[in-house]
Amino acid sequence: MAKQFIKGNDAIVKGALLAGCECYFGYPITPASEIAHAAAKYFPLLGRVFLQAESEIASIQMVYGASSAGRRVMTASSSPGISLKQEGISYCAGSELPCVIIDISRGGPGLGNIAPEQSDYFQIVKGGGHGAYKLLVLAPASAQEMCDLTMLAFDLAEKYRNPVCILADGYIGQMMEPVEFPEPLTGREYPDWAVLGNKETRQNLINSIYLDPIELENHILKLNGKYERMKKEEVRFEKYKTDDAEIICIGYGVVSRLLKSAIDECRNKGIKAGLLRPITLFPFPEKEIRNFAESCKSYFVSELSLGQMVEDVKLAVNGLKPVHFYGRTGGVVPSVTELYQQIEKIR
């Protein structure tokens, strides 16, 4: 397919359709509203289901129902809306239901503002709902990855029977870039665990309630086994100029793009900096980050928050080398010069 110049939010919808997504349930909220707008346009054209629910709470329960029937299903929102979906997300994880959840993060807490932020990291990566569960979390840094990682998300959701979240900041959702779309998925069969309303699937049960404590413990251990598999098989990251780097910079989303430019500036000034960009926030590339401790002098972490992902970096480094942090919040995005100056201070 030819390249299209398209917003990141729109690339998500087209990627979902190419991945065979059959149902979209959601409620519009800035800066994620284009996802609902594009889904309302394109899903019916392809004979698929679009429904604007009466609320975020209703939409995640619709996702639960459609996924139970074996459909590929997606919902999208921004930070306050994701907060409202948390109970339903926990239900989906507890019932082992594959689905894709999009969070285009904005400033908070409360209503905050509609500018980009990365303060949803704890809510998404650590599990904002109740109970012991994990989401697979993918963090795109371009409009192309908004398409590609959305398509990957559906495959990973079905592989592990687990919800997958695309966590992107408002900048990545709103920026326009060329996107090359792949060929669509064809020939998918419904999973054998689905409830299809016929006698063949009557014995199937989608459930997250285990009244016996031992049964629930065994279920949680089973879920945890999947999360451990994810840690072994699904870690994804990008390296940039790290071969001889003395300062390892770590950032995701739009911050990783700014860090690349800041690193180029560092290199021009003789400062050996490099970037490790986590693409999966869970599972987190902790081993790859820790391995740099043998050769680097220090780490530099930047986020659009006052410090969330940096905690996972510190856990990975485990005190082997200093970890420096610089964050902006409230929707303020640092400039390349600003990041370069912060890196220069620790050379």
pLDDT in tens, 11-57: 999 999 999 999 999 999 999 999 999 999 999 999 999 999 999 99
Q: What is the pLDDT of residue 187?
A: 79
Whole-number Å distance between alpha carbons of 168 and 31: 11
Among 26-30, 200-204, 248-252, 339-343, name the one with the lowest average pLDDT. 200-204
Q: What is the C-alpha to C-alpha distance for residues 180 and 166, in angstroms, rounded to an integer?
A: 19
In angstroms, the Cα distances linking 265 to 248, 272, 296, 304 are 15, 10, 19, 21
Q: Helix, strand, or coil here: 213?
A: helix
- Work out the burial of residue 235: count CB atoms within 10 Å of its CB; fewer than 13 is exposed, 13-18 middle, 19 or more buried: middle
Task: Indicate the class that CATH gives domain 3-233.
Answer: alpha beta
Predicted local distance difference test score (pLDDT) of residue 186: 82
Report the percentage of the chain scoring pLDDT > 70.
100
Residue 320 pLDDT greater than 80, yes or no:
yes
Mean of all residue pLDDT scores within the chain: 97
pLDDT band (50, 70, 90) for residue 1: low
Same fold, 3-233 and 238-345: yes
State the pLDDT confidence band at 185, using cuts at 50, 70 and 90.
confident
Q: Which whole number is the average pLDDT over 292-313?
A: 98
- The CATH T-level fold of domain 238-345 is Rossmann fold (3.40.50)
pLDDT of 275 above 70? yes
Query: What does the pLDDT look like over 165-174, one tens digit per residue?
Result: 999 999 999 9
Residue 228 in this model has a pLDDT that exceeds 90? yes
Q: Where are the domains of the chain?
A: 3-233, 238-345
Q: Which residues contact residue 76 at a Cβ distance below 8 angstroms, ignoring those fewer than 6 apart?
A: 12, 24, 26, 32, 35, 36, 39, 101, 102, 103, 104
Mean pLDDT (whole number) for 57-61: 98
What average pLDDT score do residues 77-93 get?
98
**Number of Cβ atoms within 10 Å of the Cβ of 55:** 12
Which pLDDT does position 220 carry in this prediction? 98
Report, as an integer, the average pLDDT of 337-344. Answer: 98
The model's confidence at residue 74, banded by pLDDT at 50, 70 and 90, is: very high
Q: Which helix (H) or strand (E) holds 7?
A: strand 3-7
pLDDT tens, position by position, 91-136:
999 999 999 999 999 999 999 999 999 999 999 999 899 999 999 9
Helix axis angle for 8-18 and 33-45, nearest 10°, is 30
pTM passes above 0.85: yes
Q: Each residue of 203-214: pLDDT tens digit?
A: 999 999 999 999
CA distance 225 to 185: 29
pLDDT of residue 189: 86
